[in-house]
Amino acid sequence: MKEQLIKTTSQPTSSRISGGNKIKKEVEGKFDYLKEFVEERFQKKFPQKDFLSAWMEYNHLRDFKISDNVEDVGGISEEGHYIMRTITEYFISQAFKAMKIDMDDPNVGGEKGTPYRLAKMYCGNDLSDDTELLSGRWSHKPLMTSFPNEQGQKYPITKRVDIVSVCSHHTAPFSTLFRDGSFAVISYIPGKKILGISKLQRIVDWVARRGHLQENLTKMIYDEVCQAAETSSVYVKLSGLVHTCESLRGTQSNEGEFTSEFYGGEFGNYEMRREVSGG
Ligand SMILES: [Zn+2]
C-alpha cells in the first residue's frame, strides 16, 4: 500500500467544527484523510466514473447491522462499494502493522496481499458476489421465482440446504459443512404460491453470509421464506452446526454445536416438524 499518499493527520472531531464548516465535514465524512489514497485507486478501477459523487455517496451511507444488507439503508453503487472495500483494506493493513506483522513477507504483503484478500472476504468482490463470508451485507437480493399453486398442493415442500455464516461476536465461521450429521432444513406448506425451490439455497446464502447469532439467522431465513412463499406455515431448523469460535479456539469444546429452529402456522404441530426434519 502506498503509504506516502496518506496524510496521517488526525481527523477533526465534529465538536470542533461549526457553521458552514460543519456541513462541509458532514458531506465529506470521517475518512477525509484517506481521500487522495482512495481516489488514486478509484481512478484506475473506474477511469470513466466521477470519484467525488461516489465518495460522497459512501460517506453519506449510514452504518447498518452486521446481520443486515445495505439495501436496508438505501443501497450503494458499485463505485461506493469499491470505496468501502478500499478503505477496509487500508485499515486491515494498519491492524496488521499494529500487530507487528512483517508486511515485507511476500505471503502477507504486496499489492494484493493479505489485507486485500481479507477485505474481499469481508466485503465481497462487488455487488453481485454471493460467495464471500460477509458478502450478504452488500450483494443484491437474489430473485426468488414462484409459480401459482394450480394443483392446490397442501403437503409440506422440504429442502435441505447448506449454511455458511459467521458469528457476530468473533466473525468466526459456523456452518453445516464442518461435521457429518449437521444439516439445515427448510419446509413450507404452499398457499397460493409454489417457490422455485432451486433458488432457496441462494436466498439462504444471501441471508447467512453476514454476521449472526444462529437463533437470529434462523428467524431471518424463516421471514424470507414466509415473504417469498406468502405463507406463515414455514419451518426452519439448523441442526448441529459447528461454531469455530468454540470448536477451534478458547475452550475448544465440542459444545460448539448448536441447533435452532423457528416455525409458524401449521408447523406448530410437533409431529409435522419431526416428519420433515427427519427427527
Ligand atoms: Zn463467536
pLDDT, tens digit, for every residue of 77-99? 999 999 999 999 999 999 999 99
Q: Residues 190, 260: one domain?
A: yes
The residue from 137, 166, 200 where one domain ends is: 137
Give 13-21's long-range contacts (Cβ < 8 A, gap of 24+): none
CATH number, position 160 = 3.30.1130.10
Distance 245 CA to ligand 1 centre (A): 5
3-state secondary structure of 1: coil
Q: How many domains does the chain fold into? A: 2
pLDDT the model gives residue 30:
78
Distance 111 CA to ligand 1 centre (A): 31
Does residue 144 have a pLDDT over 90? no
d(CA 156, CA 134): 31
- The mean per-residue pLDDT over the stretch 213-234 comes to 96
The residue from 89, 112, 137 where one domain ends is: 137
- The mean per-residue pLDDT over the stretch 157-176 comes to 96
- Domain range for residue 259? 146-277
Distance 183 CA to ligand 1 centre (A): 19
pLDDT the model gives residue 214:
97
Residue in the block written with cell 444462529: 214
SS3 content of the chain, % helix, strand, coil (to 5): 45, 15, 40
Q: Residues 190, 114: one domain?
A: no
pLDDT confidence of 261, banded at 50, 70, 90? very high
Distance 276 CA to ligand 1 centre (A): 29
Q: Residues 18, 133: one domain?
A: yes
Distance 173 CA to ligand 1 centre (A): 8
The residue from 102, 137, 172 where one domain ends is: 137
d(CA 134, CA 2): 26
pLDDT confidence of 10, banded at 50, 70, 90? very low
CA distance readout (Å), 246 to 17, 170, 217, 238? 45, 10, 18, 17
Distance 23 CA to ligand 1 centre (A): 39
CA distance readout (Å), 46 to 51, 70, 76, 78, 209? 8, 21, 16, 10, 27
Distance 261 CA to ligand 1 centre (A): 19
Does residue 72 have a pLDDT over 70? yes
Q: Residues 110, 154: one domain?
A: no
Distance 253 CA to ligand 1 centre (A): 13
pLDDT the model gives residue 20:
53
pLDDT, tens digit, for every residue of 101-140? 999 999 999 999 999 999 999 999 999 999 999 999 999 9
3-state secondary structure of 148: strand
Does residue 27 have a pLDDT over 80? no
